[in-house]
Structure 1
Amino acid sequence: MKNQTGLKIVPVTGPIRADNGDILRIAAVRGTGIIFQPHFIVADDLAAGRLLHILPEWESPEFGIFAVYPSRKHVSAKVRTFVDFLNNSLAAVSPIISIA
């Protein structure tokens, strides 16, 4: 069934429900079923052959990761250090976060 935006809606059922990608990844590795997760959650398992990419034509929309803090003026050294850490740690999975 397609909704008004043209996106395909696929109802799913299964033996497990979770709102944690790592729990779902573990269940899939153990053979419980299929999952739809971001690459950064399943990359190691895909590379090791524990999981297979079965529907490459079905990609999720891109999403951003944002650091939200009270003011862009006078950013503290702690906040700047944390945002730099996020940039270095997450650069492979998200566009760069910047302080402007």
Structure 2
Amino acid sequence: MGPDNENLGKKYDQTITRRDLKTLIGLTWLNDEVVNYYLAMICGESGVNSYPRMHYFSTFFYEKLSKEGAEKMARWTRKINIFTYDIILIPIHLTNHWALA
């Protein structure tokens, strides 16, 4: 197989390791890196072939936003104009589940 920390893929500035992918097996908890990688893949194809333009925020965005407020989170949006996208994806971890807003 290989070491758990081996990088198995890098796409759209997201890296996934063997350890991350193992969270997809059985009843293991899905980790945030798998969620980020999947959203990067989806959004990386956005705007192509008439697909809607999409942007996602990392799995840490909502937690930091809810704790620190919008003003402190301005750096997360300074390089993008969210109004140019058709869909904005915000992953939210709810104790035992992941959801998208």
TM surpasses 0.5: no
Q: TM-score, structure 1 length as denominator? A: 0.25
Structure 1 or 2, whichever has the larger Rg, is 1
Report which of the two has the higher share of strand: 2
Q: TM-score, structure 2 length as denominator? A: 0.25
